[in-house]
Homo-oligomer: A and B are copies of this chain.
Amino acid sequence: MQPENSIVFEIFKGVSFSPHQIDLIENQIEKITLKKGDTLLKVQEIVHFQYYVNEGCLRTYFIDQAGKEHTLQFAIKDWWISDYTAFFSSTPAIMNIECIQDAILYRISKASMESLFAEIPQLETFFRKKMEGAFASFQKRILASLAQPAKERYSAFIKSYPDIEQNVKNYHIASYLGITTESLSRIRKESHAK
């Protein structure tokens, strides 16, 4: 592959690398294809990787003691996904990740990341900034769950994931917003009536 066409530039958009650094990174990332319905990660598994979504859509969910599903995150093109609690602390997964639309992913292990950071400081900067953005968006989401009515949380969701509604099931969205599918339908009708 010509260095300038390397997937590395797509994954780490905006970062400059030398040809040698591109080689190093390419040796540590691995392409994965998934079909709709495939499971990427199951509760209790040890989490070695985080995943860059190049195409498709995935969903992170959690099943509570009563057997009810809760969607924590959707990941679409250009997002990273993993059970980060488990990934960062090297503990078993507390969440499941499933593919909800045929997907192409690139995975990188925690060990690879740490060794690449030592060689390529701008990669560590990239991930630090990614984490900052993700942290800020989680902070906003916690605020929203404490303070915003479901209708506003639905609007914010549509802004974050503009094309997602065609691809995911209603109960996924409802469980992401922490509401019933009936409430979701009502909110949608009210939004469209405006």
Contacts and interface: CB of A to CB of B under 8 A. Distances in A.
A121 interface: yes
Contact of A143 (B62, B133, B139): B62
A147 interface: yes
Contacts of A138: 135, 138-139, 142
Interface centre among A117, A131, A139, A145 (most CB of B within 10 A): A139
A135 B136 contact: no
A89 B85 CA distance: 24
Interface in A87-133: 88-89, 94-95, 117, 121, 124-125, 127-128, 131-133
Interface of A: 62, 64, 68, 70, 72, 84-85, 88-89, 94-95, 117, 121, 124-125, 127-128, 131-143, 145-148, 175, 178
